[in-house]
Amino acid sequence: MAGEVEAEVGSPSEAYVHYIPEGRWTDHFSSLLFSADPLATAIEVFLLSTIFLLGGLYPEETRPHGSMDLLTVASAMLVLSLQRRLYNSYLEAVYCSFPGHRTQPVAEHALKKDKDLTGRERKQVAEIVRQDRKTLVSQFMLELCLFALIPGYYPAAQDSYGPLYLRVLRLLANHYIMSLGMYWLHRSLHRHPWLWQNIHSFHHWARHPLSRTTYQDHWLDNFGNAIVGHCFAQVLLPLDHQMFWVSRSFRVCESLEKHSGVSCSANLAHTAQRWLPYAQMPHHHDWHHEGHKGCNYTFSSLGGLWDCIFQTRRTGRKPVAAATSQDLRPGDRERKSGGLLEHPYICLSPVLCLAVMAGTKLYCQDGAVL
- What are the pLDDT digits (tens) for 258-289? 999 888 889 999 888 888 878 888 888 888 88
CB 40 within 8 A of CB 48: no
- Mean pLDDT across the stretch 111-121? 74
CB 274 within 8 A of CB 324: yes
The Cα–Cα gap between 306 and 2 comes to 39
Pick the more confident residue, 329 or 34. Answer: 329
Phi then psi dihedrals of residue 115, to 5 deg: -130, 150
CA 233 to chain centroid, in Å, comes to 15
* Helical axes 70-97 vs 38-57, angle rounded to 10°: 150
Give the length of the chain. 370
CB 258 within 8 A of CB 214: yes
Amino acid letter at 319? P
DSSP-assigned states of every residue in 192-215: SHHHHHHTGGGGGG-SS--GGGTT
The Cα–Cα gap between 317 and 283 comes to 6
Residue closest to 259 by CA, chosen among 104, 32, 28: 104
- Mean pLDDT across the stretch 289-316? 78
pTM of the model: 0.87
pLDDT tens digits for range 117-152? 788 888 888 898 899 999 999 999 999 999 999 999
The CB density around residue 167, as the number of other CB atoms within 10 Å, is 16
The CB density around residue 101, as the number of other CB atoms within 10 Å, is 22
pLDDT given for residue 147 in this prediction: 94
The torsion angle over the Cα atoms of residues 228, 230, 235 and 240, rounded to 10 degrees, is 170
The Cα–Cα gap between 71 and 333 comes to 48
CB 142 within 8 A of CB 223: yes
CB 171 within 8 A of CB 239: yes
Confidence tier at 29 by pLDDT (50, 70, 90)? very low
Confidence tier at 165 by pLDDT (50, 70, 90)? very high
pLDDT given for residue 10 in this prediction: 38
User: 3-class SS at 300?
Assistant: coil
Confidence tier at 15 by pLDDT (50, 70, 90)? very low
364 burial class (0-12, 13-18, 19+ CB within 10 angstroms)?
exposed
What are the start-end ranges of the H helices in the chain?
A: 2-9, 38-57, 70-97, 122-149, 164-191, 193-198, 219-225, 232-236, 241-258, 268-272, 282-290, 305-309, 344-364
- Mean pLDDT across the stretch 242-253? 95
Residue 18, pLDDT above cutoff 50 = no
pLDDT given for residue 337 in this prediction: 54
Residue 347, pLDDT above cutoff 90 = no
pLDDT given for residue 30 in this prediction: 46
pLDDT tens digits for range 166-221? 999 999 999 999 999 999 999 999 988 999 999 999 999 988 888 888 999 999 99
